[in-house]
Structure 1
Amino acid sequence: MRIIVYGSLRRKQGNSHWMTNAQWLGDHQIEGFELYNLGHYPGVVEGEGSVYCEVYRIDASTLGELDALRTRNGEYKRQLIQTPYGSAWLYVYQRSIKGLTRIPSGDWLQREDLPKDE
């Protein structure tokens, strides 16, 4: 099975350790979604933009761990979408985006609050 990640689960990000046993398949830009800054991690919702993502092959154990991390308290719901690498699960944010900051680039690594190199 495959999963598509767009924020803290991406390579070299704060939660990338959850992807240790995953096989990176490639990068992908998903259309019809918008990325919002939730603080320490982002949320994606259906919308007019595009979002930069990474696609991975994972096993059932890893999916179970990610479900426990992402779907608790109803914050995210998994949605199956098509990628050039085959269908992949995407965690879609389920709460209100009112008052949240949209990341216009669609890339978590290009958000405005990202610390700049000096």
Structure 2
Amino acid sequence: MRIIVYGSLRRGQGNSHWMTNAQWLGEYRIAGYELYDLGHYPAVIKGEGEIDCEVYRIDSSILAELDELKNDTRDYKRELVKTPYGSAWMYLYLHSVDGLKRIDSGDWVHRKDDE
């Protein structure tokens, strides 16, 4: 199975250690989504933009760990989306983004460049 990561789980980011045992497949810019800044990590919702992602092959134990990480906040749901590497799971934010800063570039790693 595969997973799309777009924020703190990407290479060189604060939570990238969660992806240590995953196989990196490549980068991907996915259309139809918007990226918002929650502080230490981002929120993604369906929308008009594009976001920069990384796609990984993972096993069920990594998925279970990521589900636990995301479910602790109760802020995300997992959805299957198409990528050039095959279908992959992506976590979408469940709450309103009203008042949150949108990262217009769609790139969490370079979000400071948007300011």
Measured against the shorter chain, the TM-score band is: over 0.9
Q: Deviation above 4 Å: which 4+ runs of structure 1?
A: none
Which segment is superposed worse, 70-79 or 49-58? Answer: 70-79
2:38 and 2:7 map into 1 onto residues whose CA distance is 10
Q: What does residue 112 of structure 2 align with? A: 112
Name the amino acid aligned to 1:66.
L
1:12-51 to 2 correspondences below 5 Å: 12-51=12-51
**Residue 70 to residue 111, structure 1, CA distance change in 2 (3 Å):** same
Separation in structure 2 between the aligned mates of residue 63 and residue 42 of structure 1, nearest angstrom: 19
Contact 2:13 2:109 (8 Å CA) reproduced: no
Q: Partner letter of residue 108 of structure 2?
A: W
Return 5+ residue gaps in structure 1 as ranges: none
Alignment of 1:16-95 (within 5 A): 16-95=16-95
Kept in 1: contact 2:24–2:56 (CA 8 A): yes
How far did 1:81 drift? Answer: 0.1
Task: Summarize deviations over 1:59-105 as a string: whole Å, max 9, x none.
Answer: 00000000000123420000000000000000001111011000000
Contact 2:29 2:51 in 1 (8 A): yes
Q: Which amino acid aligns with 1:5?
A: V
CA-atom RMSD in angstroms:
1.3
Q: Distance in 1 between matches of 2:87 and 2:113?
A: 32
Structure 2 length-normalised TM: 0.95
Cα deviation 1:26-61 (Å, max 9, x = unaligned): 000110000000000001000000000000000000
